[in-house]
Amino acid sequence: MDTQHIHDITERVLAGGEITSREALALDCMTPEESLALRESAARVTSHFSSRVFDSCSIINARSGRCPEDCKWCAQSAHYGTTIHTYPLVDRDTCMEMAAHNRNAGIRRFSLVTSGRTIKGNALDTVCSYYSRLRIEEPGMCLCASMGLLDDDAMAKLRKAGVQRYHCNMESSRSYFPTLCTTHTQDDKLTTIERARRAGFEICSGGIIGMGETMRQRIELALELREFSPVSIPINVLQPIPGTPLENSKPVTDDEYLDTVAIFRMIHPRAVLRFAGGRANISPQAQREALRIAINGAIMGDMLTTVGSQIESDKKMVKEAGYEW
Protein backbone atom coordinates (compact mmCIF):
# COMPACT_ATOMS: atom_id res chain seq x y z
CA MET A 1 0.00 0.00 0.00
CA ASP A 2 1.54 3.32 -1.04
CA THR A 3 1.41 6.55 0.93
CA GLN A 4 -1.24 8.07 -1.36
CA HIS A 5 -3.57 5.17 -0.58
CA ILE A 6 -2.94 5.70 3.15
CA HIS A 7 -3.81 9.39 2.67
CA ASP A 8 -7.03 8.50 0.86
CA ILE A 9 -8.07 6.10 3.62
CA THR A 10 -7.35 8.75 6.23
CA GLU A 11 -9.60 11.29 4.52
CA ARG A 12 -12.36 8.71 4.37
CA VAL A 13 -12.03 7.89 8.09
CA LEU A 14 -11.98 11.58 9.02
CA ALA A 15 -15.19 12.05 7.02
CA GLY A 16 -16.91 9.33 9.06
CA GLY A 17 -16.16 6.31 6.88
CA GLU A 18 -13.97 3.37 7.70
CA ILE A 19 -10.96 1.46 6.51
CA THR A 20 -11.99 -1.80 4.87
CA SER A 21 -10.80 -5.14 6.15
CA ARG A 22 -8.84 -5.70 2.96
CA GLU A 23 -7.11 -2.33 3.28
CA ALA A 24 -6.30 -2.93 6.93
CA LEU A 25 -4.80 -6.35 6.27
CA ALA A 26 -2.63 -4.81 3.53
CA LEU A 27 -0.84 -2.86 6.29
CA ASP A 28 0.82 -6.00 7.66
CA CYS A 29 4.03 -5.38 5.72
CA MET A 30 4.87 -1.69 5.29
CA THR A 31 7.96 0.11 4.08
CA PRO A 32 9.49 2.62 6.51
CA GLU A 33 7.95 5.45 4.45
CA GLU A 34 4.51 3.86 4.61
CA SER A 35 4.87 3.25 8.33
CA LEU A 36 5.65 6.91 9.01
CA ALA A 37 2.73 7.98 6.80
CA LEU A 38 0.40 5.68 8.70
CA ARG A 39 1.52 7.04 12.06
CA GLU A 40 0.86 10.61 10.91
CA SER A 41 -2.56 9.54 9.65
CA ALA A 42 -3.33 7.94 13.00
CA ALA A 43 -2.27 11.13 14.76
CA ARG A 44 -4.73 13.13 12.64
CA VAL A 45 -7.54 10.67 13.39
CA THR A 46 -6.77 10.73 17.13
CA SER A 47 -6.71 14.53 17.19
CA HIS A 48 -10.00 14.71 15.27
CA PHE A 49 -12.06 12.19 17.24
CA SER A 50 -10.55 11.92 20.71
CA SER A 51 -11.26 14.00 23.78
CA ARG A 52 -8.25 15.90 25.07
CA VAL A 53 -9.15 14.69 28.56
CA PHE A 54 -7.05 11.59 29.16
CA ASP A 55 -9.02 8.47 30.15
CA SER A 56 -7.31 7.01 33.21
CA CYS A 57 -8.26 3.85 35.08
CA SER A 58 -6.82 1.61 37.76
CA ILE A 59 -7.28 -2.01 38.78
CA ILE A 60 -6.97 -4.05 41.93
CA ASN A 61 -6.07 -7.73 41.76
CA ALA A 62 -8.98 -8.71 43.99
CA ARG A 63 -8.41 -12.47 43.84
CA SER A 64 -5.08 -13.88 42.74
CA GLY A 65 -3.89 -17.20 41.33
CA ARG A 66 -5.18 -20.78 41.35
CA CYS A 67 -6.95 -20.25 38.03
CA PRO A 68 -8.04 -23.49 36.27
CA GLU A 69 -7.64 -21.98 32.79
CA ASP A 70 -4.46 -22.73 30.81
CA CYS A 71 -3.81 -19.33 29.15
CA LYS A 72 -0.13 -19.54 28.21
CA TRP A 73 0.63 -15.90 28.99
CA CYS A 74 -0.81 -15.83 32.48
CA ALA A 75 1.08 -16.19 35.75
CA GLN A 76 -2.19 -16.83 37.59
CA SER A 77 -2.85 -20.16 35.87
CA ALA A 78 -2.63 -23.17 38.18
CA HIS A 79 -1.14 -25.11 35.24
CA TYR A 80 2.22 -23.34 35.55
CA GLY A 81 4.82 -23.04 38.27
CA THR A 82 5.15 -19.32 38.87
CA THR A 83 6.04 -17.45 42.02
CA ILE A 84 3.13 -15.01 42.19
CA HIS A 85 1.37 -14.36 45.46
CA THR A 86 -1.97 -16.20 45.61
CA TYR A 87 -4.88 -15.20 47.84
CA PRO A 88 -8.68 -15.32 48.03
CA LEU A 89 -10.81 -12.18 47.78
CA VAL A 90 -9.29 -9.09 49.34
CA ASP A 91 -11.16 -7.65 52.28
CA ARG A 92 -13.49 -4.68 51.94
CA ASP A 93 -11.20 -2.24 53.75
CA THR A 94 -8.34 -2.97 51.34
CA CYS A 95 -10.66 -2.42 48.40
CA MET A 96 -11.89 0.90 49.78
CA GLU A 97 -8.36 2.08 50.58
CA MET A 98 -7.16 1.29 47.05
CA ALA A 99 -10.10 3.12 45.50
CA ALA A 100 -9.49 6.19 47.68
CA HIS A 101 -5.77 6.15 46.84
CA ASN A 102 -6.51 6.15 43.12
CA ARG A 103 -9.22 8.79 43.42
CA ASN A 104 -6.81 11.05 45.30
CA ALA A 105 -4.35 10.61 42.43
CA GLY A 106 -7.00 11.84 39.99
CA ILE A 107 -7.82 8.49 38.38
CA ARG A 108 -11.40 8.35 37.18
CA ARG A 109 -12.11 4.63 36.86
CA PHE A 110 -11.60 1.74 39.25
CA SER A 111 -11.96 -1.98 38.55
CA LEU A 112 -11.86 -5.16 40.57
CA VAL A 113 -10.23 -8.03 38.67
CA THR A 114 -10.56 -11.62 39.87
CA SER A 115 -8.65 -14.68 38.78
CA GLY A 116 -10.50 -17.80 37.71
CA ARG A 117 -12.89 -18.81 34.95
CA THR A 118 -15.80 -16.99 36.62
CA ILE A 119 -17.11 -15.69 39.91
CA LYS A 120 -20.31 -16.86 41.61
CA GLY A 121 -22.01 -17.65 44.90
CA ASN A 122 -20.68 -16.00 48.05
CA ALA A 123 -17.69 -14.53 46.22
CA LEU A 124 -19.99 -12.76 43.75
CA ASP A 125 -22.18 -11.46 46.56
CA THR A 126 -19.10 -10.17 48.36
CA VAL A 127 -17.73 -8.22 45.41
CA CYS A 128 -21.19 -6.80 44.75
CA SER A 129 -21.25 -5.54 48.34
CA TYR A 130 -17.88 -3.87 47.70
CA TYR A 131 -19.25 -2.12 44.62
CA SER A 132 -22.37 -0.99 46.46
CA ARG A 133 -20.13 0.55 49.11
CA LEU A 134 -17.84 2.13 46.52
CA ARG A 135 -20.84 3.76 44.87
CA ILE A 136 -21.52 5.52 48.19
CA GLU A 137 -17.97 6.34 49.25
CA GLU A 138 -16.58 7.24 45.79
CA PRO A 139 -19.57 8.75 43.94
CA GLY A 140 -17.45 10.43 41.28
CA MET A 141 -15.53 7.30 40.28
CA CYS A 142 -16.67 5.11 37.39
CA LEU A 143 -16.79 1.45 38.40
CA CYS A 144 -15.64 -1.40 36.17
CA ALA A 145 -15.33 -5.18 36.58
CA SER A 146 -13.25 -7.95 35.03
CA MET A 147 -14.37 -11.32 36.38
CA GLY A 148 -14.23 -13.87 33.61
CA LEU A 149 -17.04 -15.69 31.85
CA LEU A 150 -20.17 -14.63 33.70
CA ASP A 151 -23.77 -15.71 33.25
CA ASP A 152 -26.75 -13.36 32.93
CA ASP A 153 -27.57 -13.51 36.64
CA ALA A 154 -24.05 -12.46 37.66
CA MET A 155 -24.08 -9.62 35.13
CA ALA A 156 -27.39 -8.37 36.50
CA LYS A 157 -26.08 -8.43 40.09
CA LEU A 158 -22.96 -6.45 39.16
CA ARG A 159 -25.02 -3.91 37.24
CA LYS A 160 -27.40 -3.47 40.17
CA ALA A 161 -24.39 -2.96 42.47
CA GLY A 162 -23.27 0.02 40.40
CA VAL A 163 -20.77 -1.37 37.87
CA GLN A 164 -20.87 0.57 34.60
CA ARG A 165 -18.33 -1.15 32.35
CA TYR A 166 -17.39 -4.81 31.90
CA HIS A 167 -13.97 -5.93 30.69
CA CYS A 168 -13.33 -9.14 28.78
CA ASN A 169 -10.25 -9.23 26.55
CA MET A 170 -10.34 -11.19 23.31
CA GLU A 171 -6.52 -11.42 23.82
CA SER A 172 -5.57 -12.44 20.26
CA SER A 173 -7.07 -13.10 16.84
CA ARG A 174 -9.47 -15.96 16.26
CA SER A 175 -6.83 -17.64 14.07
CA TYR A 176 -4.20 -17.61 16.83
CA PHE A 177 -6.09 -17.86 20.12
CA PRO A 178 -6.46 -21.69 20.08
CA THR A 179 -2.66 -22.00 20.25
CA LEU A 180 -2.67 -19.94 23.46
CA CYS A 181 -5.58 -21.41 25.43
CA THR A 182 -7.51 -24.68 25.29
CA THR A 183 -9.83 -24.40 28.31
CA HIS A 184 -12.13 -21.76 26.84
CA THR A 185 -12.77 -20.26 23.41
CA GLN A 186 -13.33 -16.86 21.91
CA ASP A 187 -16.95 -17.82 21.41
CA ASP A 188 -17.14 -18.12 25.21
CA LYS A 189 -15.77 -14.58 25.43
CA LEU A 190 -18.20 -13.25 22.83
CA THR A 191 -21.10 -14.83 24.72
CA THR A 192 -19.92 -13.07 27.88
CA ILE A 193 -19.63 -9.74 26.06
CA GLU A 194 -23.16 -10.11 24.66
CA ARG A 195 -24.47 -10.84 28.16
CA ALA A 196 -22.70 -7.74 29.44
CA ARG A 197 -24.29 -5.64 26.69
CA ARG A 198 -27.75 -6.99 27.52
CA ALA A 199 -27.19 -6.07 31.16
CA GLY A 200 -26.46 -2.48 30.14
CA PHE A 201 -22.67 -2.39 30.46
CA GLU A 202 -20.22 -0.50 28.31
CA ILE A 203 -17.63 -2.92 26.90
CA CYS A 204 -13.87 -2.85 27.38
CA SER A 205 -12.01 -5.44 25.32
CA GLY A 206 -8.55 -5.62 23.81
CA GLY A 207 -5.62 -7.97 23.69
CA ILE A 208 -1.95 -8.74 24.17
CA ILE A 209 0.73 -8.37 21.53
CA GLY A 210 4.06 -10.17 21.57
CA MET A 211 2.77 -13.72 22.12
CA GLY A 212 4.20 -15.03 18.86
CA GLU A 213 1.43 -13.73 16.63
CA THR A 214 2.11 -12.05 13.29
CA MET A 215 1.29 -8.45 12.46
CA ARG A 216 -1.49 -9.76 10.25
CA GLN A 217 -3.00 -11.55 13.26
CA ARG A 218 -2.82 -8.33 15.27
CA ILE A 219 -4.77 -6.62 12.50
CA GLU A 220 -7.24 -9.51 12.48
CA LEU A 221 -7.78 -8.93 16.22
CA ALA A 222 -8.44 -5.22 15.64
CA LEU A 223 -10.96 -6.06 12.91
CA GLU A 224 -12.66 -8.71 15.07
CA LEU A 225 -13.00 -6.17 17.88
CA ARG A 226 -14.69 -3.81 15.44
CA GLU A 227 -17.53 -6.30 15.08
CA PHE A 228 -18.79 -5.32 18.55
CA SER A 229 -17.14 -1.86 18.90
CA PRO A 230 -15.79 -1.72 22.48
CA VAL A 231 -15.58 1.80 23.88
CA SER A 232 -12.20 0.97 25.47
CA ILE A 233 -9.41 -1.17 23.99
CA PRO A 234 -6.45 -2.05 26.25
CA ILE A 235 -3.36 -2.89 24.19
CA ASN A 236 -1.14 -5.01 26.42
CA VAL A 237 2.45 -5.95 25.63
CA LEU A 238 3.42 -9.41 26.81
CA GLN A 239 5.44 -9.39 30.01
CA PRO A 240 7.09 -12.83 29.83
CA ILE A 241 6.66 -14.50 33.22
CA PRO A 242 9.14 -17.21 34.29
CA GLY A 243 7.33 -20.51 34.57
CA THR A 244 4.77 -19.80 31.85
CA PRO A 245 5.05 -21.30 28.34
CA LEU A 246 5.73 -17.83 26.89
CA GLU A 247 8.59 -16.96 29.24
CA ASN A 248 11.12 -16.86 26.36
CA SER A 249 8.99 -14.89 23.90
CA LYS A 250 10.73 -12.41 21.61
CA PRO A 251 10.22 -8.82 22.81
CA VAL A 252 8.05 -6.43 20.84
CA THR A 253 10.12 -3.65 19.27
CA ASP A 254 9.21 0.01 19.55
CA ASP A 255 8.45 0.17 15.82
CA GLU A 256 6.20 -2.87 16.00
CA TYR A 257 4.31 -1.33 18.88
CA LEU A 258 3.87 2.04 17.17
CA ASP A 259 2.71 0.44 13.93
CA THR A 260 0.26 -1.71 15.89
CA VAL A 261 -1.34 1.17 17.79
CA ALA A 262 -1.50 3.25 14.62
CA ILE A 263 -3.38 0.45 12.82
CA PHE A 264 -5.73 0.01 15.78
CA ARG A 265 -6.47 3.75 15.67
CA MET A 266 -7.34 3.65 11.98
CA ILE A 267 -9.72 0.74 12.60
CA HIS A 268 -11.15 2.23 15.82
CA PRO A 269 -11.15 6.01 15.32
CA ARG A 270 -13.45 6.79 18.27
CA ALA A 271 -12.42 4.21 20.87
CA VAL A 272 -10.17 4.83 23.84
CA LEU A 273 -6.93 3.00 23.03
CA ARG A 274 -5.36 2.25 26.36
CA PHE A 275 -1.82 1.69 27.61
CA ALA A 276 -2.02 -1.51 29.66
CA GLY A 277 0.21 -4.29 30.99
CA GLY A 278 3.80 -4.65 29.78
CA ARG A 279 4.17 -1.03 28.79
CA ALA A 280 7.51 -0.85 30.61
CA ASN A 281 8.94 -2.98 27.79
CA ILE A 282 8.40 -0.06 25.41
CA SER A 283 10.89 2.80 25.56
CA PRO A 284 9.82 6.13 27.08
CA GLN A 285 10.37 7.78 23.69
CA ALA A 286 8.04 5.31 21.98
CA GLN A 287 5.44 5.74 24.72
CA ARG A 288 5.43 9.49 24.12
CA GLU A 289 5.07 8.90 20.39
CA ALA A 290 2.24 6.45 21.01
CA LEU A 291 0.41 9.18 22.96
CA ARG A 292 0.81 11.50 20.01
CA ILE A 293 -0.45 9.11 17.37
CA ALA A 294 -3.00 6.82 19.00
CA ILE A 295 -3.11 6.25 22.76
CA ASN A 296 -5.61 8.34 24.74
CA GLY A 297 -6.10 6.27 27.88
CA ALA A 298 -4.18 4.07 30.31
CA ILE A 299 -4.39 1.58 33.12
CA MET A 300 -2.22 3.22 35.75
CA GLY A 301 -0.52 1.96 38.88
CA ASP A 302 0.30 -1.71 39.40
CA MET A 303 -0.96 -4.40 37.04
CA LEU A 304 -2.24 -7.82 38.04
CA THR A 305 0.98 -9.71 38.68
CA THR A 306 3.66 -7.27 37.50
CA VAL A 307 4.60 -3.77 38.57
CA GLY A 308 3.03 -1.04 36.45
CA SER A 309 4.05 2.54 35.89
CA GLN A 310 4.16 5.15 38.62
CA ILE A 311 1.06 7.34 38.53
CA GLU A 312 2.81 10.71 38.97
CA SER A 313 5.33 10.08 36.20
CA ASP A 314 2.49 8.95 33.95
CA LYS A 315 0.55 12.12 34.66
CA LYS A 316 3.58 14.21 33.75
CA MET A 317 4.07 12.37 30.45
CA VAL A 318 0.38 12.60 29.59
CA LYS A 319 0.28 16.34 30.21
CA GLU A 320 3.45 16.84 28.16
CA ALA A 321 1.67 15.04 25.30
CA GLY A 322 -1.02 17.73 25.39
CA TYR A 323 -3.77 15.92 27.25
CA GLU A 324 -5.74 17.34 30.14
CA TRP A 325 -5.79 15.34 33.36
pLDDT tens digits, one per residue of 6-21: 999 999 999 999 999 9
Residue 208: its pLDDT value, please? 98
To the nearest whole number, what is the mean pLDDT of the chain? 94
pLDDT band for position 312 (cuts 50, 70, 90)? confident
* pLDDT tens per residue across span 238-272: 999 999 999 999 999 999 999 999 999 999 999 99
Which residues, 6 or more positions from 109, have their beta carbon under 8 angstroms from its beta carbon? 55, 56, 57, 58, 141, 142, 143, 144, 165
* CA 167 from centroid of its chain's CA atoms: 8
Among the listed residues 105, 82, 83, 91, the one whose alpha carbon sits nearest the alpha carbon of residue 60:
91
pLDDT, one tens digit per residue, over 18-44 is 999 999 999 999 999 999 999 999 999
Backbone angles phi, psi at 230, to 5 degrees: -65, 145
Residue 82, pLDDT score: 86
Whether the pLDDT of residue 286 is over 60: the answer is: yes
Give the pLDDT score at 266: 98
Q: Give the per-residue pLDDT at 81.
A: 86
Q: Assess whether pLDDT exceeds 60 at residue 303.
A: no
For 57-74, write each residue's pLDDT tens digit: 999 999 998 899 999 999
| Main-chain dihedrals φ then ψ at residue 6, nearest 5 degrees | -60, -40
CA–CA distance, 80 with 78 (Å, rounded to integer) = 6
Check whether 306 has a pLDDT greater than 60: no
Give the model confidence (pLDDT) of 190-235 as tens digits. 999 999 999 999 999 999 999 999 999 999 999 999 999 999 999 9
Which pTM does this prediction carry?
0.95
Band of the pLDDT at 325, cuts 50, 70, 90?
confident
Render pLDDT for 136-175 as a digit per residue (tens, 0 to 9). 999 999 999 999 999 999 999 999 999 999 999 999 999 9
Q: What average pLDDT does the segment 311-319 reach?
A: 88
Nearest to 181 by CA among 104, 89, 110, 173: 173
Measured at the alpha carbon of residue 259, what is the angle toward residues 256 and 260, in degrees to the nearest 5?
Answer: 80
3-state DSSP of 204-269? ECCEEECCCCCHHHHHHHHHHHHCCCCCEEEEEECCCCCCCCCCCCCCCCHHHHHHHHHHHHHHCC
